[in-house]
Structure 1
């Protein structure tokens, strides 16, 4: 009309806007809310008629949605909130709950939960501190979720758990409202009756006392948002124990700790008893593909560690274990925390984990692998010191009898337990005690160390790998308990005899000669620099930080080198035996073996004497008294002359004898001699080793793609050397896999740079060496590249698959060290090449450890002056 008025030139009068609804008027909002509530009451009081029940449910759903909408709108409106006052005085929520429970309709249940959530979020009229409100809500939730007569989907259950989580968060912030949701009726004296009757559970189940807590604990193991809401809400409840003595006593006397421990045990029991850690063909790493690695397990009943089912069960178990740690961190009550730890030890460690360890064996090719792998995974996931200390102290049978173990068990003093906590632990131990005391088996008879040692000497490579991985994890994650239990150490007293800087230089020189004797190439410096940072960080992390202004702590200063490791240690002997058979070992076993040895060498508490470094007790020096004196020495005063003499004494290099060399040096030297025999049989072995390094580096995702040789001007610097695999590979076609080289360390070292393609030509056997049968040089450039090679030329695959024989390993007394090594050892050249690359990187890392320890520890490691 305005446009028409302007068009005809008529006068225009502005139109008066309609009056706005008085939504800011509390009386108007109250009248609207009452009308909706009265209509809802009339529908609820109407007799049920199956003929028109659908329309009735739709109307109820509409009124419930409007009720939730009006409550949220009232919460945002300015005060006074008359509608909320009316909802509180008339208990509107009770009508909503009755409509939801009677109808059995999921839309109405969702709308009723939305009404309760809106009232909780309103923070008005003290709904959370109202006992009728709490009882009405929990009655609705328990009927819907626990009765089993209501069919609800995940969204509805998520909305319910979100509401319970919100209430838990309110209880955490407002402890005074706890009394509305929790009423203790527990009688701890009744527990003695349950104990005498040998009930199957421990603790008094009082679901009606705190239904909110039980609703949450029943769903802490769920995945997705339901589990997140349940776990976080339960954490808030445990945090409230520090503010409520009644809640603290109730949790200690209830079956909540029992439910948590049994839930952890149930998830652990879901894990397969027999496990295969063999990589499937589809995801086989290149370092394993280029070897004699087999992907076939001996037993079909063993579950693969890479299957989706196993990974799902393991993820669920680890998430619940992480929840245990969060509960102990958030719990403000020392008694509740100690009760939880008691249940963890008695119901999980003693009743489940230790029996599985005791019943495992490497003879069935799976059970010991499973237990060792699960232990490794748990130790890598655990962060809470009490849980980790309790688990390892029990499984390793650590006590105060041994001096080294006594040093490890130096946990801070704990507050005394309450009588309720003591009675709780006694009843728990009484219920779990065996009927016949003679049937009890303790870790003092067979513990985790025995299991590790048995599997390291096993014939099954998977068992050996799992045991070595657990050993390195123990040394890295819980070194204080591993030293003295896994490694038998002795306290080393400070004496005048110590390693010198000259001896360190000699050790570095000898081990470097071993590195170059395996294979000398220009990429060693780059590989060395890449290892230095990793080793330095690992060693520096063991030294406690002290501010410059603080007083020196003698105990911390004596931490470095306070233990001595005997070369006759059981674990060290087994590692030496595995090292002597390095070329024929499985590649994954060698990777775990080298990681374990490096973990031992990085322990700053251990001295390196006699097993990695030259023993100072057998130093012998050449007579240097006849050495001429420098002219400038005549100008030194007494102090300067004494300091220079001490520097000369520390810089002297002792005489080196292979018979008195460190244990690791002797073992690696023997491997170097074995490689020399292989080099005689395979004349182009160095070219093959270089090609294997290039291939492993090319398939590694961490190392640079290719770096050229600065000294070589032949060929393209970006050309990658790949072996000829045109012929069938006799079932070993995985050699071109593009998986990464994984050594089990934080960062893969730079194995080597690529050589030009002309320097890494196709290998040829010895008898064909003088025939110059290299296909790239014998075929004219104009000839078709699709012509096959001459028939007398063996393919690269045939050369790599040729079998090499190594002599049996003899002990120092001339006896064979193990039944598995009584015969000659055999492996393919392809397998040996990969092990040579791993061995060279390992020896190079030993050189880095020797030098970095001396640089970081200084006078605590070597005598400089």
Structure 2
């Protein structure tokens, strides 16, 4: 073998192959990382040359981006991660942060922030627990976005806020690292420094103690991802107050609560003081187009509620209000929570919101409209119980065991809450001292003029917009916060007995009377589908209230009754104002009538209120005719005494009382007077029935075209609180279902008994295009409505017929003064306007019938007596 080896080529032995260097080798990764970082050090240590500055900064940015890539690769690579160990030991972040700060170049700053984000995301070497890392990062961020010396774009600011949010999330999960990012320098002797003299703010500004918190709170009102990161990060900070006594004490004594309340007030102040809620021509709902509705405001300075500017401002304000609720919900410190509530009440409610109510007027282009609309939007958005309780008890001047007099507001105290700390008490006293009026005797308080007065005055206003806004606010309170309406807007009195006095026989009489009234409004039969639709909506609304049947109406000290039902007197001020509005129904604006009927149905649907006297017959006025007794059946002879007594009681309860016009319910009397006004209209317009049938068909057709595939629902006015184009924050459902808040009011019209389609469903929804009176020829078939076929000679056109003026007699109030119209002796409206109001009136009457029936079916013996 050796011979042949020497003969062929020698005796040398082949060498072993050199080992391959794999890219994932830890040492190879470290060599690449050190090489790039050394290049960064070389660039940073060079003298800065202005002529070559752009090229050097471009190289620095490229190297920083390369570092980010290597850190990300190291994080994904198998252990050991010696590159991250080298980064921590060498403190490369200090070099990167210093270079980015000195560069004053956005591209370099963005790349440096990416390096910090990559190190944080690595979750190794515990960078967030290193004071040097926190100091370097905070120095870079504060000098970049707080100094104003560097102009950065949205992308860079978003990247910075994302890093701050990540840090807040880590603090939430790892409370032990809070001491690295927060260090309180407050001294005990400085706890009440803010109480020594009045300044432009309340509290101590200590940005150096917790710069992360101030960076977040300065951007919570921003839109987009910047605002999202800031708000969520600050929520985590407030949640951490429950784990750190030092942070809790620091937040209470700092100016953070003042900044939050001032920010909410600033966003509210941006909203226009003069607001117009008139629909623009392009989006005018069909139900308003078929009326005398005007889209022109008398004052050009009033901001339109449908403008993009107003919608954006309103959305920002409501979003910040939702952030307030989230902060209170996440806060785990009772002292911090109560301090925030104090600032909300004193700085926002008392110093800003209440003065806007006090200064609102019905004669200055809509300041009352603006305030009422904003309050409605706030109540639609608010869900946090403490904020709702504080807001409504103050504005409505409610006194109970939890609140002192409105002139000295205090936070609701719950038994489960521990007593306040000395710092929190000092903070509250200083806040009260700084906001105290100079002359206490001249200070206006809610006890003198409050939200109740504003609503009562606005409902009876001559301005349609003001009345509409007030009615929508009242409906919102009844739908979402009805317990605060008892004893304030509605002077309800606690019923002395829990057993109902109304009988099932009286119910049958009431249903027959109201149903006959609905038929008389539009002569003809009522379709089963019309009744079924409104009944389903009423049932859903009433059933939704069943779990919450314990209202908190203030009880007098001498009243020890345990009843949970209340009586509404026909002399109630708001009820009388609503009745006065209802009395001029045919000449009212369409949107006012829609809001008016919605408000009345919301009262009738309230299961805590009894209907006696104002909607139903008063049991004290029951009288019976002397009819022949029912013949005794053979099976009655086999009944025992107890069964005979029960049978007799059932017969007595089923007897129908005589309907006396002298004791008719208040609402029925008003509706009957309105229906009698139709006799004059029928005399003026012989074909009124045909026109009404056509109007119902058109409203139904436009509703189907506008909202295809949507199920029928109860009345929705063309300008709901949420239909002003204001997106509400996405939050959990409130106690009152979103549908139940709409399941009140007339949305269903009835047939005329001539085979016309079923009820008007969603007739109040916006139509893509407005309908003109000339488009509403109902006297001829569709084929005859062509524009190429003019009306026959000597025949008035449909436009002329619909535009003719209908005159109604003047209506006097209880004091003998005319309550409607610019002319004191008569009221006028076009036939086109009257037709739409007639459809709404019949639908409203049908809803009252449905409410009467459904209340008896759902509440049972709590509503009527069956024996």
- Scaled to the shorter chain, the TM-score interval is 0.7 to 0.9
Given candidates 748, 751, 757, the residue that maps to 2:749 is: 751
Query: Aligned equivalents of 1:620 and 1:410: distance in 2?
Result: 50
> Which residue pairs with 1:157 in the alignment?
157
User: Contact between 1:257 and 1:339, CA under 8 Å: does it hold in 2?
Assistant: yes
Name the structure 1 match of 2:112: 112
* SS in structure 2 at match of 1:620: coil
d(CA) in 2 for partners of 1:153, 1:19: 49
Residue from 448, 452, 457 that aligns with 1:449: 452
SS at match of 2:192: helix
Q: Deviations 1:608-641 (Å, cap 9, x if unpaired)?
A: 0000011011111223574432222112222221
**Paired residue for 1:537?**
540
Structure 2 match to 1:479: 482
Q: 1:355-403: CA deviations, max 9, x gaps?
A: 1110001011311110011101110111111101100000000003999
Query: Which one is further off, 520-529 or 416-425?
Result: 520-529
Q: Secondary structure of 2:128's match?
A: coil
Pairing of 1:733-812 with structure 2 (within 5 A): 745-746=742-743, 749-752=747-750, 786=788, 788-811=790-813
| Alpha-carbon contact 1:96-1:112 (below 8 Å) kept | yes
Change (3 A) 1:293 1:435: same
Alignment correspondent of 2:62: 62
Q: Is the 8 A contact 1:688 1:833 kept in 2?
A: yes
- Could you tell me which residue of structure 2 aligns to residue 502 of structure 1? 505
The residue aligned with 2:633 is: 630
1:74 to 1:692, Cα distance in 2 relative to 1, 3 A:
same
Q: 2 CA distance for matches of 1:101 and 1:217?
A: 23
Task: Tell me the SS of whatever aligns to 1:628.
Answer: coil
Going from structure 1 to structure 2, the CA distance change for 1:700 and 1:672 (only over 3 Å counts) comes to same
Equivalents in 1 of 2:754, 2:634: separation in Å? 52
8 Å CA contact retained: 2:274, 2:302: yes
Q: Which runs of 5+ in 1 are unaligned?
A: 1-15, 547-557, 707-741, 760-772
Whether the 8 Å CA contact 2:369–2:466 is kept in 1: the answer is: yes
- Deviations 1:800-820, CA, capped at 9 Å, x for gaps: 111011111134676645786
- CA distance in structure 2 between the aligned counterparts of 1:110 and 1:835, rounded to whole angstroms: 63
Question: 1:598-613 residue pairs with structure 2 within 5 A?
Answer: 598-613=601-616
Return the match for 1:647 from 627, 647, 650. Answer: 650
In structure 2, C-alpha distance between the alignment counterparts of 1:99 and 1:793, rounded to whole Å: 88
Question: Which residue, out of 525, 528, 531, partners 1:528?
Answer: 531
How far did 1:59 drift? Answer: 1.8
Pair 1:786–1:400, CA change in 2 (3 A): closer
Residue in structure 2 matched with residue 466 of structure 1 by the alignment: 469
Q: Deviations over 1:75-119 (max 9, x none)?
A: 122222211111111110011112211111222111111110011
Question: In the TM superposition, what whole-angstrom CA distance separates every residue of 1:759-783 from its partner, at most 9, and x where no partner exists?
Answer: 9xxxxxxxxxxxxx99969x9x9x9
Residue 36 of structure 1: how far off its partner (Å): 1.6
1:428 to 428, 431, 435: 431
Among 513, 517, 522, the alignment partner of 2:516 is 513
Contact 1:561 1:860 in 2 (8 A): no
**Aligned residue number for residue 183 of structure 2:** 183
TM-score, normalising length: structure 2: 0.86
Is 1:229–2:229 an aligned residue pair? yes
Give, in angstroms, the shift of residue 559 of structure 1. 8.7
Deviations 1:149-185 (A, max 9, x none): 1121111110000111111111110100111100011
**Alpha-carbon displacement from aligned partner over 1:437-487 (angstroms, at most 9, x marks no partner):** 123211000000011111112111111111111111111111111110111
| 1:201-350 alignment, distance < 5 Å | 201-350=201-350
Q: Is the 8 A contact 2:538 2:854 kept in 1?
A: yes
SS of alignment partner, residue 459 of structure 1: coil
CA drift of 1:22 comes to: 2.3
Contact 2:252–2:424 at 8 Å: present in 1 too? yes
8 Å Cα contact 1:561-1:607 kept in structure 2: no
Q: Distance in 2 between matches of 1:785 and 1:758?
A: 25
Count of residues paired in the alignment: 785
Question: What is the CA-CA distance between 1:758 and the residue it aligns to?
Answer: 11
Is residue 437 of structure 1 aligned with residue 434 of structure 2? no
CA displacement, residues 236-288 of structure 1 (integer Å, 9 cap, x when unaligned): 11111111111111111100000000000000000001001111111111111
Residues 207-237 of structure 1: CA distance to partner in whole angstroms, max 9, x if unpaired?
0111000000000000000000001111111
Counterpart CA distance in 2 for 1:263 and 1:668 is 49
Match of 2:765 in 1: none
C-alpha distance in 1 between matches for 2:567 and 2:63: 79
Relative to structure 1, the CA distance from residue 703 to residue 755 in structure 2 (aligned partners, 3 Å threshold; closer, same or farther) is farther
Matched residues in 1 for 2:150 and 2:383: separation? 41
Specify whether residues 66 and 410 from structure 1 end up closer, same or farther in structure 2 by C-alpha distance, changes over 3 A only: closer
